[in-house]
Amino acid sequence: MTARPQHFGWFLARGFGPQGWGYPSLDWDYDWTRPDIYQEAARTLEQAGFDLVIIEDAPSLGSPSTIDLRVRHAFGGPKHDPLLLAPYLFQATEHLGVVPTVNPAAYLPYTAARQFATLQHLSGHRLGLNVVTDTGSARHFSDAPQLGHDEAYDRAEEWLAGIRDLWRSWDEGALVADRGSDVYADGTKMRAVRHRGDRFSFDGPLNALPFTDGEPAIVSPGGSGRGLGFAGANSDVQLALAPLHEASVRAYRTRIHDAARAAGRRPEDIKILFAIQPVIVSSAEEADRIVSASLDPDDAALLQIARKQSSDLETDLTALDPDQPLDLSVFGAHVSQGSIQRLLGDRGEKAPLRAHLAALARAGRISDRTGFVGTAEEFADLVEELGEWGNDGVLLWGDFHPVTLHRTLDELVPVLRRRGILRREYAPGGLHANLRAF
């Protein structure tokens, strides 16, 4: 018996930047600023039958006092603009969806609608947009006060609704393109739009053709109640992060589906893809070896984790004594409480910094559901189990280096195909057609 097919994507989690920096095994002779390595990776994902790649982004290097922490080991920047990388990936592939991250703070709706429409046509309807609501980069775009969490979602909803109005500003029959009558388009069938909202004011119609195979797919990652509500009401794909046990997966899905119904959509209109970073190895013995080595990380491994945490938390953990309890006053008010809590786990404030870093280094086995190290068959078991709970698919995440992709996919893809979980062929019609195929 074969299992239910699911959708697969890749989340390029360190964005369009010097990904792989700091990892000696990824020190190959490539140039991250050139398209070649991304094109090679995109072709690999397409040959594997993946639906899409999502490219993380942060337009900002952070606050003035912490820029150095973000860039020193290249965890927080530099990052080039993934929207401009997208055409190169489209050119290298025929079916793969490409989903750059976009922040409504950075694009006026008319400009966004026109640029995204252009890419949707250029790509054969394969564009997606990962709509994020981060407000940390606000100061680069205006001197207006930074929005709060929910206000940023309000703005994103107004922005997206405005963009969709522009995309729909050509009514049925507006595009004529009839050589016999020498008429290209019928201006009387175009709508003026006239958006006057809380955050944006602009007029249409849009100076770009309407779509033949759907609008660019909307992807969202936010995990708060407001984030899940946004996904249910607006998104075609949710980048989901949650514990992978049955109750949590089902609850996460129910919240999004309820929000979809409340917005007049069908639950099947949104594909919920859980983000997982597996370490796929060739044998159970190798998996056991990696897990036991992770229980006793060396100083180099702890330093690498401290560097990444320093960038994410915009606080220099490498300057602290690792054998002393972590003094929480080192974190400024700008640091997210959720991120601090993730570092502390259930160890509390009295534990030394070393214990927190070691906990982040700790790996677990897929087979007993304590972690994500295992063989291709063990990972396929997990994905199959997720499918039994109704799951739509999985987002593997990591960098775009050939070593990472091949280590993750070479053994896994044939196993998933044999079990019927991973597609063997693409549907004609672009990203929406592939998302709707099952």
Nearest CB to ligand FMN, comparing residues 217 and 281: 217
- Residue from 3, 106, 241, 290 touching ligand FMN (CB under 6 A): that is 241
Contact 125, 214 (CB under 8 A): yes
The CB-of-131 to ligand FMN minimum distance in angstroms stands at: 8
Q: Which residues of 392-421 are buried (b: 16+ CB within 10 A; e: fewer)?
A: bbbbbbbbbbeebbebbbebbbebbbebeb
**Beta strands per DSSP E along 330-391:** 373-374
The CB-of-238 to ligand FMN minimum distance in angstroms stands at: 10
Q: Does 58 bind ligand FMN (CB under 6 A)?
A: yes
Of 187, 161, 165, nearest to 174 by C-alpha is 187
Provide the sign of the torsion angle of the four alpha carbons 422, 427, 431, 437, taken in this order: negative
The CB-of-309 to ligand FMN minimum distance in angstroms stands at: 17
The CB-of-103 to ligand FMN minimum distance in angstroms stands at: 6
Q: Does 236 bind ligand FMN (CB under 6 A)?
A: no
Nearest CB to ligand FMN, comparing residues 158 and 213: 158
Nearest CB to ligand FMN, comparing residues 101 and 367: 101
The CB-of-282 to ligand FMN minimum distance in angstroms stands at: 29
- Per the listing, tokens 């040959």 go with 47
Give the footprint of ligand FMN on residues 272-311 (CB under 6 A).
275
Nearest CB to ligand FMN, comparing residues 6 and 133: 133
Q: What is the C-alpha separation between 432 and 349, in angstroms, rounded?
A: 47
- Residue from 105, 239, 382, 394 touching ligand FMN (CB under 6 A): that is 239
For the chain, the straight-line distance linking the first and the last C-alpha, in angstroms and rounded, comes to: 17
Q: Does 238 bind ligand FMN (CB under 6 A)?
A: no
Contact 342, 313 (CB under 8 A): no
Contact 388, 245 (CB under 8 A): no
The CB-of-99 to ligand FMN minimum distance in angstroms stands at: 10
Q: What is the C-alpha separation between 183 and 171, in angstroms, rounded?
A: 16
Nearest CB to ligand FMN, comparing residues 239 and 386: 239
- β-pairing, 183-185 vs 175-178, is antiparallel
The pair of three-digit structure tokens given for residue 396, joined into one six-digit string = 């593997």
Q: Does 224 bind ligand FMN (CB under 6 A)?
A: yes
Q: Which amino acid appears at position 346 of this protein?
A: D
- Residue from 16, 44, 53, 56 touching ligand FMN (CB under 6 A): that is 56
Nearest CB to ligand FMN, comparing residues 238 and 367: 238
The CB-of-260 to ligand FMN minimum distance in angstroms stands at: 16
The CB-of-18 to ligand FMN minimum distance in angstroms stands at: 16
Site pattern 125..164 for ligand FMN (x: CB under 6 A): -------xxx------------------------------
Q: How many CB atoms lie within 10 A of CB 116?
A: 24
Q: Does 226 bind ligand FMN (CB under 6 A)?
A: yes
Q: How many CB atoms lie within 10 A of CB 425?
A: 9
- Residue from 223, 267, 325, 420 touching ligand FMN (CB under 6 A): that is 223
Give the footprint of ligand FMN on residues 67-126 (CB under 6 A).
101, 103
Nearest CB to ligand FMN, comparing residues 378 and 399: 399
CA dihedral 366→369→370→375, nearest 10 degrees, is -10
Span interacting with ligand FMN, options 219-227, 260-268, 409-417, 426-434, rule CB under 6 A: 219-227
Q: What is the C-alpha separation between 419 and 334, in angstroms, rounded?
A: 47
Nearest CB to ligand FMN, comparing residues 170 and 397: 397
Q: What is the C-alpha separation between 354 and 316, in angstroms, rounded?
A: 14
Contact 369, 245 (CB under 8 A): yes
Span interacting with ligand FMN, options 53-61, 112-120, 158-166, 381-389, rule CB under 6 A: 53-61
Q: Which residues of 10-22 are buried (b: 16+ CB within 10 A; e: fewer)?
A: bbbbbbbbbbbee
The CB-of-147 to ligand FMN minimum distance in angstroms stands at: 11
Number of residues binding to ligand FMN, judged by CB under 6 A: 17
* Residues at the site binding ligand FMN, with contacts judged by CB under 6 A: 56-58, 101, 103, 132-134, 221-224, 226-227, 239, 241, 275
